[in-house]
Structure 1
């Protein structure tokens, strides 16, 4: 599909994240979401470990997800303010589609944990690229909820970690280009001398 762009390179150069709070319907259909997730799993994976999992939080489950977030937040802050409560509620209900990405390391493997973490990040990016290829916008968020054991325990168990919350939908407005690093500051040529 390549999102009506003429070449795969133009497609890759056009991918950008969208703000989940600005995403609107429609989101991916069931078949599209399955294809997006299948593509996400086609990622570098030393040892063929699949050290990642994806959990789809359906629209009918967003209220329960919000309750988990509220309870987890109150563990460290028993009297949250109105703005904090509203932010949690918005987070739980934004965008048409929500996928929780879990880093699921294989402890018994000889493959270093670092490589498994890199594979998880690559799988998340593949998910975002696949959503873009289907004409949707994606946003990958972390924040306090990704670091909460209480939230994590709703989706998995230690030693798993939440790699992020990936929201997918249709952009509610024009996507803005964000500043990118200058080529010369992040690319160099190695000199052995």
Structure 2
């Protein structure tokens, strides 16, 4: 990464089909996570965790999601079934970021959830710093209790999102961004 200002000015997600191997693993992934945890975390609760999905587990979980979708929705089209079966195999690595926000005598759950979101964005930036691309998505499995159980996510936990991770196979394409005047209110006397 050249510098933080340039990175933030040009940061963009890469379409999932354009993510290629390799993806981080082992000590490199641990180093990326050590950077990602440097976020606001009132009370030092670390109200988030990560489930890394790759290889045979990605294939197995995709089959489980296809079966789950079939049970919930009835028959799936061939295209939809194929999509669900490949759900976690579309990139070399999928990181499910989990919010462990829980009642606390001092730290509101909302602040813990914000910390989980900050952790997720920091994780994206850390992946980018190592030359990887990451696309943050949710989709139906994020909100489905049976899907969460298949992913070893406790009922009281929430999925912040899935980061699809790999080496960019194409440059990111810019998209329109909000005008600062539309998101800034200045209060001064």
Q: Provide the TM-score with structure 1 as the length reference.
A: 0.91
Taking only aligned residues, the RMSD between alpha carbons, in angstroms, comes to 1.5
**Cα distance in 2 between the residues matched to 1:40 and 1:73:** 33
Secondary structure in structure 2 of the residue aligned to 1:47: helix
**Cα distance in 2 between the residues matched to 1:42 and 1:69:** 33
Q: Which residue of 2 aligns with 1:32?
A: 28
Matches within 5 A, 1:45-124: 45-124=41-120
Once the 2 structures are TM-superposed, how far is the Cα of residue 49 of structure 1 from its aligned partner?
0.9
**Among 158, 171, 191, the residue aligned to 2:168:** 171
- Runs of 4+ deviating beyond 4 Å: none
**Cα distance in 2 between the residues matched to 1:31 and 1:178:** 34
- Residues 10-60 of structure 1 deviation map (CA, whole Å, 9 limit, x = unaligned): 122222111222201121242221111111111111111111110111212
- Residues 138-169 of structure 1 deviation map (CA, whole Å, 9 limit, x = unaligned): 01110101011111112221210111111111
**Among 121, 129, 133, the residue aligned to 2:129:** 133
Q: Which residue of 2 aligns with 1:160?
A: 157
Q: Which runs of 5+ in 2 are unaligned?
A: none
Q: Provide the TM-score with structure 2 as the length reference.
A: 0.92
**Cα distance in 1 between the residues matched to 2:137 and 2:130:** 20
Secondary structure in structure 2 of the residue aligned to 1:114: helix
Q: Is 1:188 aligned with 2:185? A: yes
**Cα distance in 2 between the residues matched to 1:42 and 1:73:** 37
Higher mean C-alpha displacement, 135-144 vs 25-34 = 25-34
Once the 2 structures are TM-superposed, how far is the Cα of residue 109 of structure 1 from its aligned partner?
4.2
Once the 2 structures are TM-superposed, how far is the Cα of residue 125 of structure 1 from its aligned partner?
0.3
**Among 129, 137, 144, the residue aligned to 2:140:** 144
Higher mean C-alpha displacement, 70-79 vs 115-124 = 70-79
Verify the 8 A CA contact 2:59 2:88 in the aligned structure 1.
yes
Once the 2 structures are TM-superposed, how far is the Cα of residue 134 of structure 1 from its aligned partner?
0.4
